[in-house]
């Protein structure tokens, strides 16, 4: 089975770095045949990374109102708009729009799971806010669970 894990985000925008932070940790705990990458959300890059995969797991930052930073949501593509009222992507083109484009172009994985981590601070600079930083291990465990890797490898 072809498995792809993609951490979306930007390490220079504080909490938007959650996707890359999770992807880097996941890469240390998966089999060599699991493709792990970091993306800034460019649609062409995402389509290329997940096309033909049996399973794609996407980790991305979301902003919700009212906020609960550090909350991790496990979603299917159809559920992306249902997280909570006021949710929006931190990227120029939202993930759900890229997924719709992939459907039109027949460039989707067989199955996709989105792990959306609620964030608070999208200002300039490095480093996750405390609440989002605490969510990294939870998100890593969730990714490993989705792809069938034992989370006890995280030691």
* pLDDT value of residue 91: 54
pLDDT band at 155, cuts 50/70/90?
very low
Q: 4: exposed, middle or buried (C-beta count within 10 Å: 0-12, 13-18, 19+)? A: buried
Q: How do residues 45-56 score in pLDDT, each as one tens digit?
A: 999 999 999 999
- Domain-wise residue ranges, the chain: 3-153
pLDDT band at 26, cuts 50/70/90?
very high
Q: Which residue has the higher pLDDT, 1 or 64?
A: 64
Question: Which residues, including other chains, have CB under 8 Å from residue 115's CB and lie 6 or more apart?
Answer: 22, 57, 58, 59, 60, 72, 73, 74, 75, 139, 142, 143, 146
CATH topology classification for 3-153? Rossmann fold (3.40.50)
Q: How do residues 31-44 score in pLDDT, each as one tens digit?
A: 999 999 999 888 88
Q: How do residues 48-90 score in pLDDT, each as one tens digit?
A: 999 999 999 999 998 887 889 999 999 888 887 655 434 445 5
């Amino acid at each position: 089975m072809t498995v792809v894990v993609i951490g979306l985000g930007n390490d220079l925008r504080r909490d938007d770095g959650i996707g890359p932070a999770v992807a880097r940790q996941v890469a240390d705990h998966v089999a060599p045949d699991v493709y792990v990458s970091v993306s800034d959300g460019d649609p062409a890059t995402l389509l290329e990374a997940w096309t033909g995969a049996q399973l794609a797991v996407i980790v991305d930052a979301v902003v919700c109102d009212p906020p609960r930073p550090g909350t991790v949501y496990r979603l299917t593509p159809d559920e992306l708009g249902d997280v909570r009222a006021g949710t929006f992507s931190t990227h120029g083109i939202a993930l759900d729009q890229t997924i719709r484009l992939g459907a039109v172009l027949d460039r989707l994985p067989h199955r996709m799971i989105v792990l959306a981590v609620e964030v608070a601070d999208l200002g300039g600079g490095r480093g996750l806010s405390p609440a989002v930083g605490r969510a990294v291990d939870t998100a890593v465990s969730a990714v490993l669970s989705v792809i069938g890797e034992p989370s006890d490898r995280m030691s």
